Amino acid sequence: MNIREYLKKSKLIADGSFGTYYSQKYKTVDIPEYANITASQRISEIHTEYINSGAKLIRTNTFASNTYSLDCSIEQVKENIKAAYKIAKEAVEQSGKEIFIAGNIGPVPAVFQPDFEAVEEEYYQIAKTFIDEGADILCFETFTQSEHIMPAIKRIKEECNPFIIVQFCVNQYGYSEAGESAERLVSETAFSKCVDAVGLNCGVGPAHMQQILSRINLNNNCFATAMPNAGYPLLVRNRVKYADNPIYFASKVNDMALLGVDIIGGCCGTTPDYIREVAKTVDLTPTVKSDETSANNENEKPVIKKSFFRNADGTIKDKKLIAVELAPPFGADDKKLLEAAHMLKGLGVDVLTFPDSPSGRTRIDSVLMAQKVKNVTGFEVMPHICCRDKNAIAVRSTFLGASINGINNFLIVTGDPIPVMARQVVKSVFNFDSVGLMRIADEMNSEALKDSPLTYGGAINQSRRRIESEIKRVQKKMEAGAEFFLTQPVFTAEDAERLRRIKEETGARILCGIMPLVSRKNALFMKNEISGVNVTDEVIERYPENAGREDGENVGVELAKEMIAATRDFADGYYFSFPFNRTYLLKRIIQEV
């Protein structure tokens, strides 16, 4: 059988949960993937039960078969996958029925894994192992975003063209832990042209999943899937329990099938009894897919996007942009900061920026500080938002609150970690990195903020050891909607050349970082205490050891002028940060340049 042809003739019933049913059936808390090697008969029995209950698609017992979950090498993971696929294949052969087998792939739970390429490569190796064993269906399930699986999916699709299923996990409000909505996750994946079926699994019970799917356009060229939990778990005597409700479950699954879902099954809490009831209840008449996409409303008034680099009519400013950073104070006294802001009047500054508690040390909230300065001075403002302190709910609230107060510009960064000494009492959030946060902002621009969309950018660290990785990172941020970039301070010709390469390869709008260091002590501190800033010994030697304030500032101004000259041919503007809020130096730099 060919699954594509089958789905044109009938909806497809998949199996239910493996993990929770395994735990219930064998009274164990061990993850079942180990049993692929140590207790294969147990795995075969569960496959057989699901086949006998009416499942036409079974998923291999490999959801957690990865190096992180099994705490083993990739070669050992491959052996586990091979064993699991062999068990599933033998169970199908023994049944004497025509059953589809999907190689099941779950998330690699490397929380905030900095080596994204390694994670992407592991997904590819897992997928390729299934293909080498004879699988022609792959099921990626329980994902909160698509970023790290799509490279593997594209590669394996181009090489072997398997039938690929992707399923996302969202909460009852329709958002994943990465902050992305079910609508966006499903629609973007459906139109990726390398995924055959997309939908939801886990996370919610059948009623909530049906409600979420009712808000999604399932009428596209991609098959739709739905595999809800039996309901919501309860902790009874230290064991997780789900309600025993297969008849109710099947009725809700039938509602999803009527919405246009093509592949239906179950996730946590479901058992062969649930799938047997689904097989009895659901109308398997196939959904007719349409090639048409919803037309845009031609009468809709175009939105003029507001940003610091646009004129009032929405056109791009024809000038070198100037952004100036003002660090919010540690205490509640903002007098010096406001004085520094007033000092910048009349110097052609396009936007004032406010970092979000850099170095993990508490300062006045960046958005509230920006609002105060905007009200007092009339400057265009841009708070920084980092991922360290807020989850998706808090970030969305921040964006909404800023929008109603006329703040549309944001710099989105991953953020510095919490200082080691504070980690016993202060916990980092990091639900996502800067790219994930940009996706939230992009999504809000098409939904809640479509009449007053945000303009946001990202950071560039040109001193990163592998410049190719930084270029790739910039491209990902641009794909997530970043419209500009602020760089780390530029102190050397090498920094300038690395930024020139990033500009040439990405076409990004770049504001080069300029920091007029004001003394030798200031330069030594930046070199030794602040990561990602390339202050060389040559730069330090330009500052006399016992120079006075004016002499130190003169060196800083000269160095700033040199870096502006070195980047003038490609920079779209400059991002100034002045130590100790010495913003009066800007006038000298601007005039002399």
Length of the chain: 593
Provide DSSP, 72-95. S-HHHHHHHHHHHHHHHHHHHHHH
How does the average pLDDT of the chain come out, rounded? 91
Q: Residues 107-138, buried b or exposed e (16+ Cβ, 10 A)?
A: bbebeeeeebeebbebbbbbbbbbbebebbbb
Give the residue-averaged pLDDT of 556-565: 94
Asked whether 511 and 486 are in contact (CB, 8 A), the reply is yes
Residue type present at position 516: P
Give the residue-averaged pLDDT of 336-355: 94
Handedness of CA 192, 130, 160, 17 (dihedral sign): negative
The answer to whether 268 is annotated as binding is yes
What residue has token string 């991002």? 575
Asked whether 388 and 412 are in contact (CB, 8 A), the reply is no
Q: Which region holds residue 314: left if phi is over 0, alpha if psi is between -120 and 50, else beta? A: left
The yes-or-no verdict on residue 115 having pLDDT over 70 is: no
> In this prediction, what percent of the chain has a pLDDT beyond 90?
73
pLDDT of residue 584: 93
Three-class HEC string of 233-269: CEEECCEEECCCCHHHHHHHHHHHHHHCCCEECCCCC
Asked whether 369 and 328 are in contact (CB, 8 A), the reply is yes
**What's the CA gap between 345 and 322, in Å, rounded?**
12
The most confident of 47-61, 204-218, 423-437, by mean pLDDT: 47-61
Task: Summarize pLDDT for 464-473 with one digit per residue, the tens.
Answer: 888 999 999 9
Span between the terminal Cα atoms of the chain, in Å: 72
Distances (CA, A) of 28 to 21, 48, 238, 273, 565: 10, 20, 13, 20, 68
Residue 324: pLDDT band by 50, 70, 90 thresholds? very high
Task: Summarize pLDDT for 120-134 with one digit per residue, the tens.
Answer: 899 999 999 999 999
What residue has token string 């016993």? 424
pLDDT of residue 242: 74
Does an H or E element contain 53, and which? helix 40-53
What residue has token string 């921040």? 398
The set of residues, in sequence order, having a beta carbon less than 8 Å from that of 356 and lying 6+ positions away, is 366, 383, 384, 385, 386, 389, 413, 415
Provide DSSP, 312-358. TTSPBPSS-EEEEE-PPPSSS--HHHHHHHHHTTTTT--EEEE-SSG
**What's the CA gap between 287 and 308, in Å, rounded?**
48
551 burial level (CB within 10 Å; 0-12, 13-18, 19+): middle
Task: Summarize pLDDT for 233-276 with one digit per residue, the tens.
Answer: 776 556 667 778 999 999 999 999 999 999 999 999 999 999 99
Residue 297: pLDDT band by 50, 70, 90 thresholds? very low
Dihedral (C-alpha) 508, 512, 513, 515: value to the nearest 10 degrees?
180
**What's the CA gap between 178 and 212, in Å, rounded?**
17
**What's the CA gap between 190 and 192, in Å, rounded?**
6
pLDDT of residue 502: 96
Helices 116-132 and 74-95: crossing angle, nearest 10°?
Answer: 30
Asked whether 252 and 228 are in contact (CB, 8 A), the reply is yes
The DSSP bridge partners found for residue 225 are: 199, 263
The DSSP bridge partners found for residue 577 are: 325
The answer to whether 169 is annotated as binding is no
The yes-or-no verdict on residue 100 having pLDDT over 90 is: yes
**What's the CA gap between 86 and 101, in Å, rounded?**
11
Residue 211: pLDDT band by 50, 70, 90 thresholds? very high
Domains and CATH numbers, the chain: 3-281 (3.20.20.330), 321-592 (3.20.20.220)
Q: What are phi and psi of 190, to 5 degrees?
A: -60, -35
154 burial level (CB within 10 Å; 0-12, 13-18, 19+): middle
Three-class HEC string of 548-564: CHHHHHHHHHHHHHHHH
pLDDT of residue 301: 63
Give the residue-averaged pLDDT of 134-159: 94
The answer to whether 160 is annotated as binding is no
What residue has token string 């930046």? 526
pLDDT of residue 298: 47
Asked whether 105 and 127 are in contact (CB, 8 A), the reply is yes
List, in sequence order, every beta strand (DSSP E) within 396-505. 409-413, 455-460, 485-489
**What's the CA gap between 241 and 231, in Å, rounded?**
10
Distances (CA, A) of 549 to 302, 340, 544, 592, 593: 52, 18, 11, 20, 22
Asked whether 50 and 94 are in contact (CB, 8 A), the reply is no
What six digits make up the tokens of 504? 């040439």
Does an H or E element contain 165, and which? strand 163-168
Residue 112: pLDDT band by 50, 70, 90 thresholds? very low
**What's the CA gap between 407 and 370, in Å, rounded?**
8
**What's the CA gap between 511 and 484, in Å, rounded?**
8
In terms of DSSP H, where are the helices of 447-573? 467-479, 493-506, 520-529, 537-541, 549-567
Task: Summarize pLDDT for 401-437 with one digit per residue, the tens.
Answer: 999 999 999 999 998 777 766 666 777 788 778 988 9
